[in-house]
Amino acid sequence: MNGKVRKKLWGFLPHLVLILVSVACLLPLVLVISASFTTDAEIAKYGYSFIPKEFTIEAYEYILKKPAQLINSYGVTILVTLSGTVIGLLITAMLAYGMSRRDYPFARATTLFVYMTLLFSAGLVPWYMMVSNVLSLKDTLLALIVPYLVVPWFVMLMKGYFADIPSSIIEAGKIDGASELRIFFQIVVPMAKPGLATVGLFIMFMYWNDYYLSLMFIQNSKKLSLQFMLYRMMSNIDFLKSALAAQAGMLSGVQIPAKSIRMAMCVLAAGPMLLVFPFFQKYLVKGITIGSVKE
């Protein structure tokens, strides 16, 4: 009997630990969501808590009444993410494809060229000067797209997927007289769909979550991406207040529930994508395990 109880305990222990870790992973987010439904007065009096004493959607009403800033930022982020992902994935795939073709005499040299960049980093300053001074991309949306179009690590990951395509298929295409472009777009790309999906998702998340490029190159408030808007609001709650006051046509200094609005903005800006992500998880997990443990 004692042995049986012990065995049951052992069987439950993993769940117990994993549930605790899971709760620890999610609870902090609950805190933010809860704060967005709490009145500012309550936050000021009792602090942030997991369950609001008095449930209110005041903060959301404030934002959604005049959602110009939010919509504008969504526009910037969606535009940057979409174009960055499409163009970036295409260029990444084309480069990786050349590296994976065994009969291409420069495959090794190209791979080395890409791989070397994983070993060193030029650092922020010359990279910054390249974008802002040499290419003059400051305060343009291109500055949010171009620097991340090709990420060497993603190229290597993509190359792994292309390498799995048997060269006999490419040979067959050649014998049929298909051009290289045709072989790539009509034979190779369809076969590498899972790989393209994985790498594409990584690129997408990179663009969606990026605020670094904005921090570096964007000053114009019309070009604030979601993440950068959130950053500005965090670093400067007055920025939020003045933006809201200006939008609502109020004098600044009027009482605005800035604390809960800040949290509500966070939920509105980051929430939707976080709800989408579990559906793509399968691909991401695949990419992570392939990319980390080289075969």
Partner 1 sequence: MNMRHKFKQLVKYRSIFFLTLPGILLILTFQYVPLVMGLVLPFKDVNYKVGIWRSPSVGLENFKFLFSSDAAWRITRNTVCLNFLFIVTVLICSVICALFLYQVSKRSVKVYQTVLFFPYFISWVVASYVILALLDMENGLLNSILQFFGRDAILWYNEPKYWPVIMVIANLWKNIGYYTIIYYTGLLGISEEYYEASEVDGATKLQQIRYITLPLLKPVIITLLLLQLSKIFYGNFDMFYNLTMNSAALYPTTDVIDTYVYRSLKVMGDLGMSSAAGLYQSLVGFGIVITVNAIIRRVDNENALF
Minimum distance, C-beta of residue 40 to partner 1, in the bound complex (Å): 10
| Contacts for 194 with CB less than 8 Å, ≥ 6 apart | 161, 283, 286
Smaller CB separation from partner 1, 250 or 274: 274
Nearest distance from residue 59's CB to partner 1, in Å?
13
Of the CA atoms within 13 Å of residue 119, those in its CB half-sphere come to 5
**Three-state secondary-structure class, residue 256:** coil
Residue with smaller CB distance to partner 1, 5 or 251: 5
Shortest distance (Å) from residue 96 CB to partner 1: 8
Type of residue found at 205: F
Residue 251 CB, nearest approach to partner 1 (Å): 25
CA pair distance 267, 48, nearest whole angstrom: 15
Least distance from partner 1 to the Cβ atom of residue 245, Å? 21
Nearer to partner 1, 62 or 208 (CB): 208
CA distance from start to end of the chain: 47
State which residue, 255 or 289, has the beta carbon closest to partner 1.
289
DSSP state of 187: I
Helix/strand number for the chain, H first, E second: 16, 0
With respect to partner 1, which residue has the nearer C-beta, 62 or 159?
Answer: 159
